[in-house]
Amino acid sequence: MPLTRRDFARGSAYTGAGVVLAGSVGVLAGAPDAIGLGGGDEEPGTAEAAGTDRRHPPRGVGYGPLRDDPEGVVALPEGFSYRVISRTGVTELESGEPTPSNHDGTAAFAGPRGATLLVVNHEIDGPREETEHPVPLADGLVYDPAAPGGCTVVEVRRGGEVAQWVGIAGTSDNCSGGRTPWNTWLTCEENSDRAGENGMTKDHGYVFEVDPLDRRANRAPRPVKALGRYDHEAVVVDPRRGHMYLTEDDDEPNGLFYRWVPPKGFEHGRGRLRTLADDAGVLQAPKCYDSGGRFVDDLSRATRAGTVYGVDWVDVPDRDARTVPVRKQFEDGGVTRGRKLEGMWWADGGAYFVSSYAREESPGRPHDGQVWFYDPRRRTLTLKVILGVNAKPFEDGAFDGPDNITVSPYGGLIIAEDGEGIQHLFGATDSGRTYPIARNEVNVGTAEEPEYSEFTGVVFSPDGKTLYANIQEPGIMLAITGPWRRQPR
């Protein structure tokens, strides 16, 4: 049933629950009690608007300044340390083959005998023969032998020993994904090549399930075609309703935030997604409108944290995109779009998801990042975080381009940066005050023109003591430990 204008107007004062992020430190502004912006027309999220030096968080927030790493890997606050868990071309899988490249989305699971199991995406696309370190074509775990991507499973045992093996191979551009309530990983292909394109022998652009606890369950990989074929980014599961939400990182036109509604009587669980027919359930895209009932064509129209949109859902005509890409199947005025819809995390009864930036490809005001919260009960989207355009991305302390996110057991969000210039992991407290956690010091460019790869796969261990994160290039998984503590609001 569509959400009527009256229904939305009655609840339009509501701005979401749980982690409430408000503006601070010149970067973040959030709902409902934003403190980072003045009352005038300042550019949202700029240092001038907040009047705060971003290099120095407010007293009591975070863990202090970052200290240079003599090994040139990652700068951390005093008292913190890191360990390299895997490194492309250096560490090895159980098979003796080198760790694949381009580490991306990651999830952590409690393993046997106190171990932590991590499923790691490898965002590798193009023809396999052009890839230096593809995911090995492990027997029985291959979808398309021409594709170089996939997932590895990393077991970090109680004594510190590390083992790695292939979870799925022969997929393409495995970017992000999502952990399920039944303890599996959904890996998403951010590449919709058809068979015959770039040497592929099968169609791509799908979601696959990987079980870190049962290797046999991963044999004979089968895409979950009911979730659509497009440039997938991330996925989460509503454990109460069974709906699944997905993000699309694409443009021309901008991508979409999707909802999949399961067929009547379907029950989620281990191995159940494999049983779905290709056209099972309904895949839908959002149509948003403001409190005045006006249609909103793009999420970049929102310029103030606390903005709330009502959401109706529109069925996707052809989810497998047999002739037209899914995002192009809607006429102007039919759906609401967003640029670079990326990381997502289920918490507080809803889905947090990211739009990394907006520029000339978007109709609204440019920004360097938004975090939205979809409340399925109220059917509203609330802008929790907005980052203004970062004019000095190569100066330390300025944050832009959020990508992977996780909700921290110590309060607030941990955000992996995928912007221009210097790359960070940074935290945002419940009231929106921000603080640095790590800075990538691996220069993959030159001394004259330095280049730093994005952070990816940020996730805490099940016991909350270790923060795992990846540096995508050259492909490094880090385990970060230290004096974690509850952050003030």
Confidence at residue 142, expressed as pLDDT on a 0 to 100 scale: 98
Name the residue among 330, 387, 369 with its Cα closest to residue 50.
387
The residue type of 230 is Y
End-to-end CA distance of the chain: 38
pLDDT score of 47 more than 70: no
Mean pLDDT of 267-292: 96
Residues in CB range of 343: below 8 A, 6 or more apart: 105, 176, 233, 234, 247, 353, 354, 402, 403, 404, 405, 416
φ, ψ of residue 130 in degrees (nearest 5): -95, 5
Confidence at residue 42, expressed as pLDDT on a 0 to 100 scale: 34
Question: Which helix H or strand E contains 188, and what residues bound it?
Answer: strand 185-189
Mean pLDDT of 382-388: 91
Question: Is 292 domain-assigned?
Answer: yes
Asked whether 201 and 195 are in contact (CB, 8 A), the reply is yes
Residue for token digits 């249609």? Answer: 295
Asked whether 310 and 289 are in contact (CB, 8 A), the reply is yes
pLDDT score of 60 more than 90: no
Asked whether 166 and 187 are in contact (CB, 8 A), the reply is no
pTM of the model: 0.90
Residue 328 DSSP SS3: helix
432 band by pLDDT with thresholds 50, 70 and 90: low
Confidence at residue 385, expressed as pLDDT on a 0 to 100 scale: 86
The bridge status of strand 350-355 relative to strand 413-417 is unpaired
Dihedral of CA atoms 209, 215, 220, 222 in degrees, nearest 10, equals -10
Rounded Cα gap, residues 247 and 244, in angstroms: 10
Question: Is 59 domain-assigned?
Answer: no
Mean pLDDT of 39-50: 32
The counts of H helices and E strands in the chain are 2, 27
Rounded Cα gap, residues 100 and 447, in angstroms: 26
Question: Which helix H or strand E contains 132, and what residues bound it?
Answer: none
Q: Give the whole-number percent of the chain exceeding pLDDT 90.
A: 81
Residues 446-486: pLDDT tens digits? 999 999 999 999 999 999 999 999 999 999 999 999 999 99
Confidence at residue 454, expressed as pLDDT on a 0 to 100 scale: 96
Mean pLDDT of 359-378: 95
Question: Is 486 domain-assigned?
Answer: no
pLDDT score of 51 more than 60: no
Residue for token digits 């409430």? Answer: 20
The total number of structural domains in the chain stands at 1
The residue type of 296 is V
Confidence at residue 395, expressed as pLDDT on a 0 to 100 scale: 84
Confidence at residue 25, expressed as pLDDT on a 0 to 100 scale: 29
Q: Give the HSE-up count for residue 167: Cα atoms under 13 Å, Cβ half-sphere.
A: 29
Question: Is 25 domain-assigned?
Answer: no
- Neighbour count for residue 366 (Cβ, 10 Å): 15
Name the residue among 105, 82, 48, 104 with its Cα closest to residue 439.
82
CATH code, domain carrying 156: 2.120.10.30
397 band by pLDDT with thresholds 50, 70 and 90: confident
Confidence at residue 44, expressed as pLDDT on a 0 to 100 scale: 36
- Neighbour count for residue 379 (Cβ, 10 Å): 18
Mean pLDDT of 38-64: 48
Rounded Cα gap, residues 334 and 314, in angstroms: 8
| Full DSSP string of 59-122 | TTSSS--EE--TTSSEEEETT-EEEEEEETTTSB-TTSPBPPS-EEEEEEEE-GGG-EEEEEEE
Residue 66 DSSP SS3: strand
Question: Is 47 domain-assigned?
Answer: no
Higher per-residue pLDDT: 26 or 54? 54
How many residues would you count in the chain?
489
Rounded Cα gap, residues 85 and 106, in angstroms: 13
53 band by pLDDT with thresholds 50, 70 and 90: very low
Q: Give the HSE-up count for residue 260: Cα atoms under 13 Å, Cβ half-sphere.
A: 26
Residue 444 DSSP SS3: coil
Confidence at residue 308, expressed as pLDDT on a 0 to 100 scale: 98
Mean pLDDT of 188-193: 97
pLDDT score of 197 more than 80: yes
The bridge status of strand 476-481 relative to strand 308-315 is unpaired
Question: Is 261 domain-assigned?
Answer: yes
Name the residue among 151, 124, 148 with its Cα closest to residue 201.
148
Mean pLDDT over the full length of the chain: 88
Confidence at residue 58, expressed as pLDDT on a 0 to 100 scale: 58
**Token digits for 19?**
């982690």
Q: By residue range, what is the domain housing residue 216?
A: 66-481
Question: Is 10 domain-assigned?
Answer: no
Question: Is 54 domain-assigned?
Answer: no
In our burial notation (b when 16+ CB lie closer than 10 A, e otherwise), range 237-259 reads bbeeebbbbbbbbbbebbbbbbb
Asked whether 339 and 362 are in contact (CB, 8 A), the reply is yes
Residues in CB range of 40: below 8 A, 6 or more apart: none
Confidence at residue 41, expressed as pLDDT on a 0 to 100 scale: 32
The residue type of 47 is A
Residues 242-261: pLDDT tens digits? 999 999 999 999 999 999 99
Asked whether 481 and 465 are in contact (CB, 8 A), the reply is yes
Rounded Cα gap, residues 283 and 128, in angstroms: 31
Residues in CB range of 67: below 8 A, 6 or more apart: 75, 76, 77, 78
Asked whether 460 and 409 are in contact (CB, 8 A), the reply is yes
Residues 220-242: pLDDT tens digits? 999 999 999 999 999 999 999 99
Residue 215 DSSP SS3: helix
